Amino acid sequence: MLRTRCRLPALAGLLAMLAAAVAQADTPRLATLDWTLAETLVALDAPPLASAQLEAYHAWVDEPALPDTTIDLGLRSQPNLELLARLAPDHILISPMFANLAPRLERIASVKTLPLYRAEQDTWQEMRRLTRSLGELVERPEAARRLIDTTEARLDTLGARLDGTAPPPLLMVQFMDGRHVRVFGDNGLFQAVLDRLALTNAWTGPTNAWGFSLAGIEALAGLDARLVVIEPYPAGVRETLAESGLWQHLVEAGRGSPIVLPPVWSFGAMPSALRFAERLVDALENDDAV
Amino acid sequence: MPSDALPRRCRPRLTPAGLCLVLGLIALAMAVVELDARLGLGPGLNALLTPGETARALAMHFAWWPRLAMALLAGGGLALAGVLMQQVLRNPLAAPTTLGVASGANLALMAATLMAPGLLVLGREWVALAGGGGAMALVFALAWRRGLAPVVVVLGGLVVNLYFGALSMVLLLFHQEELKGLLIWGAGSLAQNGWQDVAFLAPRLALGTLAAAWLLRPLAVLELSEAGARSLGVSLKHLRLAGLGLAVFLTGCVVSVVGIIGFIGLAAPNIVRLAGARRLGTRLLWSTLLGALLLATTDLLLQHFSGVLPTLIPTGATTAALGAPLLLWLIPRLNLGGEAPSREARAIGTRHPAPGRLAAWLSLSLAGVTLVALLVGQAGDGWHWTTPGDWALLEWRLPRVLAAAGCGVMLAIAGTLIQRLTGNPMASPELLGISGGSAIALMGAIFLLPAPDNLTLVGAGTLGALASLTVVVALNRQSGFQPERLLLTGVAITALFDAVRAVVLAGGDPRGQQVIAWLSGSTYYVDLTSALTVSGAALLLALAAIPLARWLDILPLGGACAAALGLPLARARLVLLLLVALLTAGATLVVGPLSFVGLLAPHLARLLGFSRAAPHLAGAAISGALLMVVADWLGRQWLFPEEIPAGLMASLLGGAYFMWGLRRL
């Protein structure tokens, strides 16, 4: 149940390597507790020295992958302070969610709090702003500009591929168990992507600050939409759904069979947004071809 | 005996049948209104039998009707299980969740999700039943040698509950993303999307009801005193096993399908008893009916009002939240009467011939452990003895060791005080509701304020602790702080806390991670100033407890006996209570609601052989500190760089030792 980790010798070597690597690079040495910040840093080609819960990062965010040299700080909510103090980074980047850690972390290095997904703010503008401020922090403003430009250009291309196909409104859900889903809507990453692709979201109900709403499957009944299921399916849920009368009717009444997309970090920044867009557009296109 | 102590007749107007009728009418009216609003009465009724064509009719057929049926079934099943447990354990506070069934099922589902998802494909209800059954079997194994004596069963159930709860918290802390679905389950949602769950539950509950009817006569014998029952030639062990086993089966079936639904199993039997039902048969019948109607009414109301929220409000947590004020209202109306000492409460452990020497040995090991905790630790490249070169490390370690020790002392003393005050071995600081109250306030602060800093959190926590203390004092002043009532007040506040936590976590908000981290009781957030404050406060309050030792020697003998010995009962209780509140609030604010230590340390001390009040206090304080320092250090090193919070480690270590001790009895 509790796996003991056997990566200590590897870590020792890494520390030495890093010490050498850091000597040559001028970019500030950063530690971040937030996966969204970490993925953006990787996309800026300035991966963080250390981040938290790396195994879970690779399970849930996956791409862009953190380099093998990244040091694991432990839990996101309680990073290992002794380890962090030994690494002595120049800055520690956090999101407002971990603001209560700031006083402790301040004793190790300067703490920068970078918000994303604030209520009442346009998510895409916020993502741009976040990318720019990270670019300035790692002293690579041109990389940030490039990331924004290429992401937006790519999204435009993807949007253009859908021109003339008139896809139906989409209903994006992720299964929590056999009876409940997260429905993604306003304020979230997926909505921001739909907006850029000029697609319609069938879910107009209220959502929380992270852009989703927890609902029973019955809340989806009566919405005229194409279902988009974002993996992973929790264990046993496919089987439960096969028995669920309501789900079967939903699938029959919906516009075509559900689109199933591989996992995407639903609270991510530009890299996650682009991944989602690529997969969604691919699925919609291939579907039309059939 | 508490079950006898309840009022024979409360008010002539209030009968169980009348209650059920009123509640039934409310539920019926709600259902008719809903049907009418959703589909129109005729088509709505029609949708019960046929799916229909429109989306609305489909939703009625596959969601609304099965949900109503499920609420009735689940409520009835849980209430039935509650009556059985209260009858067998002769404890009005026993409930389906008391015996570890829910937490066992929860742990089994979590472990299966992480390690053997294939099992969940075979059927999650079977995994849940296996987990619940396993937890119950463990409780039985712990209590077997004592003939499943009520006190030992309740105690074993409590420990298994805490132990499994702590294990689930560890899993949750490290795998929040994978386990988010189970958080909804843990909050008890009745949402349905077909008839398959109702079809699963109905025959099993019918079977359980039949078995309960069959057990009715022998179980009624339990209302006699133990000796009386034995003289009638009833095998108590087997009878209790059958009664509890049946209750577990019922609970397991319900819980595996809809998740943990609090309070119904506790409230329905108590309300029915207050309304005047005395014989077991009548209580079984009306409690089952009342439980079904209670849950159905709550769920209908909830569906009516929660439509506009961006998140789902789980029914199980809501019943618990609504039930808490109800229980608070009920408490002054419960005639618990008996000031008799609870038998067997002090039967644990034998007296050590020289408590002083024992205490010295304990202190010596505490000093040794503290030294190790300060000097030994891992870094990125392996184990290190702290050399004079890196004293800087102590900046991180010293506050944590100090805070752990201080909180251990405070909680242990609080636990000793309250266990002696109430004469109830189940008592712990958390049961008074003070940590619960401050935890509610803290969760509120984390979720409602944009980016709360630690000072704000401490302020909110203090306010919460004070508020719950005020409630406790206000409700209990009239009864002169009677132990059973005091505990009931605490149970109500704790139920409210559990409900708030379940709702907060079920929503899947990423901030839940922070809540889990804090709730599991870590010394992580402590800096040197607060660590010094905590240990200073611990020392002062410990000294304050010493002059109270005489009271503490007398109080467990029972109220009547203590009064006869010239003890100012009400004043003594109030003073002790305030001290407990201060100790608990102090510890909670720093390291979260670590009540396990408060429960375990006094028992540990007793098992070691400290039996009179003054040595008991000292022994508990030292073992509490020892437990916490070891737990804190182990928690920091075991899964390095990830840290297991000290509170969880303490309950894992302490719980294991405690179970071993119980088994030896």
Chain A CB within 8 Å of residue B448 CB:
no
- Split at pLDDT 50, 70, 90, the class of A278 is very high
Q: Which residues contact B227 (CB under 8 A, 6 or more apart)?
A: none
Give the CA distances from residue B149 to residues B90, B127, B144, B152, B241, in Å, rounded to whole numbers and listed in that order. Answer: 10, 29, 8, 5, 11
pLDDT beyond 90 at B326: no
Q: State the DSSP string of B345-360.
A: TT-SS---S-HHHHHH
Beta carbons of A77 and B180 less than 8 Å apart = no
- Region for A244 from its dihedrals, namely left if φ exceeds 0, alpha if ψ lies in -120 to 50, beta otherwise: beta
More confident: A2 or B65: B65
Chain A CB within 8 Å of residue B59 CB:
yes
A64 vs A264: CA distance, rounded Å? 11
pLDDT beyond 60 at B337: no
| pLDDT winner (highest mean) among A246-255, A281-290, B232-241, B321-330 | A246-255
- Judged by DSSP in three states, B641 sits in coil
pLDDT beyond 70 at A202: yes
Reported residue count of chain A is 290
Mean pLDDT lowest among A18-27, A160-169, B124-133, B185-194: A18-27
B610 sits in which H/E element: none
Which among B130, B424, B151, B373 has a CA at the least distance from the CA of B255? Answer: B130
pLDDT (0 to 100) of residue B431 = 65
B420 vs A178: CA distance, rounded Å? 47
pLDDT beyond 50 at A7: no
Supply the angle between the helices B280-305 and B315-330 in degrees, to the nearest 10: 120
Beta carbons of A75 and B174 less than 8 Å apart = yes
Burial of residue A29 (CB within 10 Å: 0-12, 13-18, 19+) is middle
pLDDT (0 to 100) of residue A25 = 52
Put simply, the chain B residues between 484 and 503 with a CB less than 8 A from any chain A CB are: none
pLDDT (0 to 100) of residue A155 = 94
What amino acid occupies position B34? Answer: E
Summarize pLDDT for A114-153 with one digit per residue, the tens: 888 777 778 899 899 999 999 998 889 999 999 999 999 9
Residue of A nearest to B447 (CA): A97
Chain A CB within 8 Å of residue B506 CB:
yes
> Residues A251-270: what's their mean pLDDT?
86
Beta carbons of B193 and A247 less than 8 Å apart = yes
- Would you state the structure tokens that stand for residue B291, as one six-digit string? 């439980």
Summarize pLDDT for B188-216 with one digit per residue, the tens: 888 888 898 899 899 999 999 999 999 98
The domain A165-289 having CATH identifier 3.40.50.80: the answer here is no
- Split at pLDDT 50, 70, 90, the class of B375 is confident
pLDDT (0 to 100) of residue B344 = 43
- Split at pLDDT 50, 70, 90, the class of B76 is very high
Q: What is the 3-state secondary structure (H, E, C) of B308-334?
A: CCCCCCCHHHHHHHHHHHHHHHHHHHC
Average pLDDT over chain A, rounded to whole?
84
How many Cα atoms occupy the beta-carbon half-sphere of B48 within 13 Å? 11
B293 vs B72: CA distance, rounded Å? 6
pLDDT beyond 70 at A196: yes
Summarize pLDDT for A8-18 with one digit per residue, the tens: 444 444 554 55
Q: Which residues contact A188 (CB under 8 A, 6 or more apart)?
A: A117, A123, A207, A210, A211, A212, A266, A267
Give how far A87 is from chain B: nearest CA, Å: 9
pLDDT beyond 70 at A213: yes
- Would you state the structure tokens that stand for residue B59, as one six-digit string? 């939703």
- Split at pLDDT 50, 70, 90, the class of B426 is low
pLDDT (0 to 100) of residue B342 = 45
Residue of A nearest to B393 (CA): A82
Taking CB atoms and an 8 Å cutoff, what residues of chain B touch A1?
111, 114-115, 167, 171
Tell me how far apart the terminal alpha carbons of chain B are, to the nearest angstrom: 23
- Report whether A41 contacts A130 (CB < 8 A): no
- Report whether B387 contacts B375 (CB < 8 A): no
Summarize pLDDT for B539-554 with one digit per residue, the tens: 999 998 888 888 888 8
> Residues A185-204: what's their mean pLDDT?
90
pLDDT beyond 50 at B265: yes
Q: State the DSSP string of B505-546.
A: HHTT-TTHHHHHHHHT--STT--HHHHHHHHHHHHHHHHHHG
Give how far B296 is from chain A: nearest CA, Å: 18
Mean pLDDT lowest among A266-275, B356-365, B506-515, B616-625: B506-515
Q: Which of B189, B454, B516 sits opposite A179 (nearest CB)?
A: B189
- Would you state the structure tokens that stand for residue B538, as one six-digit string? 């611990």
Summarize pLDDT for B133-183 with one digit per residue, the tens: 888 888 878 777 777 666 667 667 767 877 787 788 888 888 888 888 888
Give the CATH H-level superfamily of domain A8-153.
Answer: Nitrogenase molybdenum iron protein domain (3.40.50.1980)
Beta carbons of A78 and B177 less than 8 Å apart = no
Taking CB atoms and an 8 Å cutoff, what residues of chain A touch B61?
245
Burial of B461-476, coded b for 16+ CB within 10 Å and e otherwise, reads bbbbbbbbbebbbebb
Chain A CB within 8 Å of residue B34 CB:
no
pLDDT (0 to 100) of residue A223 = 84
> Residues A15-25: what's their mean pLDDT?
48
Beta carbons of A103 and B527 less than 8 Å apart = yes
Q: State the DSSP string of A164-198.
A: TT-PPPEEEEEESSSSEEEEE-TTSHHHHHHHHTT
Whose structure tokens read 């604030």?
A118
B200 sits in which H/E element: helix B196-220
In chain A, CATH 3.40.50.1980 covers: 8-153, 165-289
- Judged by DSSP in three states, B645 sits in coil
**Which of B193, B530, B632 would you mutate first to test chain A, the one with the most A CBs within 10 A?**
B193
Which among B427, B443, B428 has a CA at the least distance from the CA of B499? Answer: B443
Give how far A53 is from chain B: nearest CA, Å: 8
- Report whether B100 contacts B164 (CB < 8 A): yes
- Would you state the structure tokens that stand for residue B598, as one six-digit string? 């408060």
Are domains B15-330 and B391-664 of this chain identical in fold?
yes
- Split at pLDDT 50, 70, 90, the class of B346 is very low
Give how far A277 is from chain B: nearest CA, Å: 22
Give the CA distances from residue A74 to residues A266, B385, B420, B513, B641, in Å, rounded to whole numbers and listed in that order. Answer: 22, 21, 41, 13, 5
| pLDDT winner (highest mean) among A227-236, B71-80, B142-151 | B71-80
pLDDT beyond 80 at B424: no
pLDDT (0 to 100) of residue B217 = 85
Residue of B nearest to A96 (CA): B451
B269 vs B277: CA distance, rounded Å? 9
B553 vs B50: CA distance, rounded Å? 69
Q: Which fold has domain B15-330?
A: ABC transporter involved in vitamin B12 uptake, BtuC (1.10.3470)
Q: Output phi, psi for A116, to 5 deg.
A: -145, 155
Q: Which residues contact A23 (CB under 8 A, 6 or more apart)?
A: none
More confident: A182 or B38: A182
B73 vs B54: CA distance, rounded Å? 28
B19 vs B293: CA distance, rounded Å? 10
Residue of A nearest to B641 (CA): A74
Q: Which of A2, A14, A245 sits opposite B62 (nearest CB)?
A: A245
More confident: A2 or B618: B618
- The percentage of chain A sitting over the pLDDT mark of 70, rounded to a whole number, equals 90
Average pLDDT over chain B, rounded to whole?
81
Give how far A161 is from chain B: nearest CA, Å: 33
A182 vs A205: CA distance, rounded Å? 12
Q: Output phi, psi for B130, to 5 deg.
A: -60, -45
Residue of B nearest to A224 (CA): B55
What amino acid occupies position B440? Answer: I
Beta carbons of A206 and B310 less than 8 Å apart = yes
Give how far A34 is from chain B: nearest CA, Å: 11
**Parallel, antiparallel or unpaired: strands B376-379 and B382-385:** antiparallel
Chain A CB within 8 Å of residue B53 CB:
no
- Split at pLDDT 50, 70, 90, the class of A289 is very low
Angle formed at CA B588 by CA B586 and CA B592, multiple of 5 degrees? 150
Give how far B631 is from chain A: nearest CA, Å: 16
Count of beta carbons in the 10 Å neighbourhood of residue A169: 16
pLDDT beyond 80 at B593: no
- The percentage of chain B sitting over the pLDDT mark of 90, rounded to a whole number, equals 18
Taking CB atoms and an 8 Å cutoff, what residues of chain B touch A267?
510
> Residues B639-663: what's their mean pLDDT?
78
What amino acid occupies position A22? Answer: V
Give how far A156 is from chain B: nearest CA, Å: 31
CATH classification code of B391-664: 1.10.3470.10
What amino acid occupies position B241? Answer: L
pLDDT beyond 80 at B478: no
Residue ranges per structural domain of chain B: 15-330, 391-664
Taking CB atoms and an 8 Å cutoff, what residues of chain B touch A72?
641
Angle formed at CA B110 by CA B104 and CA B111, multiple of 5 degrees? 90
Q: Which residues contact A124 (CB under 8 A, 6 or more apart)?
A: A192, A195, A196
- Split at pLDDT 50, 70, 90, the class of B286 is very high
Mean pLDDT lowest among A60-74, B122-136, B364-378: B122-136
Q: How many Å separate Cα A208 from the centre of its chain?
A: 16
- Cβ contacts from A onto B, under 8 A: 210
- Report whether A190 contacts A172 (CB < 8 A): yes
Which among A237, A206, A233, A238 has a CA at the least distance from the CA of A219? Answer: A206
